[in-house]
C-alpha cells in the first residue's frame, strides 16, 4: 500500500511541461522572422501583408490611444453579460431536465427543434423587437450559450452511472440530497465541457454581431479597419481577438481544475 501514497497529495493543476511549449514558440518566432524578412525584401505586398513591425506599432498606438481598451471593454462586457445570462439559465434548466423525466418529455421537443438552428439567424428578429442597441446583442449571445450549456448539462446528468443513485438512495438520501450530492457534482465535468464550448461561442457571436451593427467593440474595429483600408489595424485587431479567445479558454480551464479536484487532470 505504501507504493500508492505517491499518487496522493495535492498535485492538481496542469503540469508545466517545457518540451511542450518550447518548440511551438521557436516555430512562432521563425515564422515571424520569415514574415519580417519577406516584407523587408518587398516580396510581400505591404497592403495585404503589412510587416510584423508595422502591425506591432499599430497595436501599440491603438492601446495608448485608448481605442483598443474601449473596444475590448465593449466586447468583453457583451460576452460576459450574455454568457452569464445564458449559462445560468442553461445549467439550471439542464439540471432540472436531467433530473426530471417529466420536464424532459415536456421540453425536449423544443430543445431538439431549436438547438440545430444557427442562433445568428435570429439576430434580425431580435433587432426587430429589441432594436440595434445592447439588448439584442446580449440576448443573441445568451441564446447561443443557453442551448450549448443546457444540452451538455442535461446529457451530463443522464450520463451519471445509475450505481451512484442506487448507493445514495440505499443510504437513505432523499430527492434533494440526491440532487445536491450526486447529480450536481456528477454532472460537473459535462457542465464545464458545455461552458467551454459556450464561451467560445459567446465571443464568436459578439464579434459577428459587432461586425454588422456595433459602433464599439472588436468586431466593429475589424469592420472599420476594412472599410478604411487599414490592413495593419485589421491584423492588429485580429491578434487581439485571438488572444482574448485563448485567455477566456485558459481561464475557464483553470476554474475547471479548481472546481473538479476529484478528477485526474491532464
Q: Catalog residues that contact other proteins under the rule CB under 8 A.
A: 1, 4-5, 7-8, 163-164, 166-173, 177, 181-182, 185-186, 188, 260-264
Question: Minimum Å distance from CB 174 to other proteins?
Answer: 8
Question: Minimum Å distance from CB 84 to other proteins?
Answer: 25
Question: Minimum Å distance from CB 196 to other proteins?
Answer: 19
How many other C-beta atoms can be found within 10 angstroms of the C-beta atom of residue 240?
20
CB 221, CB 237: distance < 8 Å: yes
Kindly tell me which of 45 and 166 has the beta carbon lying closer to other proteins: 166
Kindly tell me which of 24 and 172 has the beta carbon lying closer to other proteins: 172
3-state class of 256 per DSSP?
A: helix
Contacts of residue 112, defined as CB under 8 A and 6 or more positions apart, other chains included, come to none
Kindly tell me which of 5 and 25 has the beta carbon lying closer to other proteins: 5
Contacts of residue 221, defined as CB under 8 A and 6 or more positions apart, other chains included, come to 67, 68, 71, 233, 237
- CA quadruple 204, 210, 211, 216: dihedral sign: negative
Kindly tell me which of 114 and 171 has the beta carbon lying closer to other proteins: 171
Percent of the chain as helix, strand, coil, to the nearest 5: 80, 0, 20
Question: Minimum Å distance from CB 3 to other proteins?
Answer: 9
How many other C-beta atoms can be found within 10 angstroms of the C-beta atom of residue 145?
29
Question: Minimum Å distance from CB 260 to other proteins?
Answer: 8
- Angle formed by the axes of helices 52-65 and 231-259, nearest 10°: 70
Question: Minimum Å distance from CB 266 to other proteins?
Answer: 12
C-alpha cell at position 37: 524578412
Kindly tell me which of 75 and 153 has the beta carbon lying closer to other proteins: 153
Kindly tell me which of 11 and 73 has the beta carbon lying closer to other proteins: 11
Amino acid at each position: 500500500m505504501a507504493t500508492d501514497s505517491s499518487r496522493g497529495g495535492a498535485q492538481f493543476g496542469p503540469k508545466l511541461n517545457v518540451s511542450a511549449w518550447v518548440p511551438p514558440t521557436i516555430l512562432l518566432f521563425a515564422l515571424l522572422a520569415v514574415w519580417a524578412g519577406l516584407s523587408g525584401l518587398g516580396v510581400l505586398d505591404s497592403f495585404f501583408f503589412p510587416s510584423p513591425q508595422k502591425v506591432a506599432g499599430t497595436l501599440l498606438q491603438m492601446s495608448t490611444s485608448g481605442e483598443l481598451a474601449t473596444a475590448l471593454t465593449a466586447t468583453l462586457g457583451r460576452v460576459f453579460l450574455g454568457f452569464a445570462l445564458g449559462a445560468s439559465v442553461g445549467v439550471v434548466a439542464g439540471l432540472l431536465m436531467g433530473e426530471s423525466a417529466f420536464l424532459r418529455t415536456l421540453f425536449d421537443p423544443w430543445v431538439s427543434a431549436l438547438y440545430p438552428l444557427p442562433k445568428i439567424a435570429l439576430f434580425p428578429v431580435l433587432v426587430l423587437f429589441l432594436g440595434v442597441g445592447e439588448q439584442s446583442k446580449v440576448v443573441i449571445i445568451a441564446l447561443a450559450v443557453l442551448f450549448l450549456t443546457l444540452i451538455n448539462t442535461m446529457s451530463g446528468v443522464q450520463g451519471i452511472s445509475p450505481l451512484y443513485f442506487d448507493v445514495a438512495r440505499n443510504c437513505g438520501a432523499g430527492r434533494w440530497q440526491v440532487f445536491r450530492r450526486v447529480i450536481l457534482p456528477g454532472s460537473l465535468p459535462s457542465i464545464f465541457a458545455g461552458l467551454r464550448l459556450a464561451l467560445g461561442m459567446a465571443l464568436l457571436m459578439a464579434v459577428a454581431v459587432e461586425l454588422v451593427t456595433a459602433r464599439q467593440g472588436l468586431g466593429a474595429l475589424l469592420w472599420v479597419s476594412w472599410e478604411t483600408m487599414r490592413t495593419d489595424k485589421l491584423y492588429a485587431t485580429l491578434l487581439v481577438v485571438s488572444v482574448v479567445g485563448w485567455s477566456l479558454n485558459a481561464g475557464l480551464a483553470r476554474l475547471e481544475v479548481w472546481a473538479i479536484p476529484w478528477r485526474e487532470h491532464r
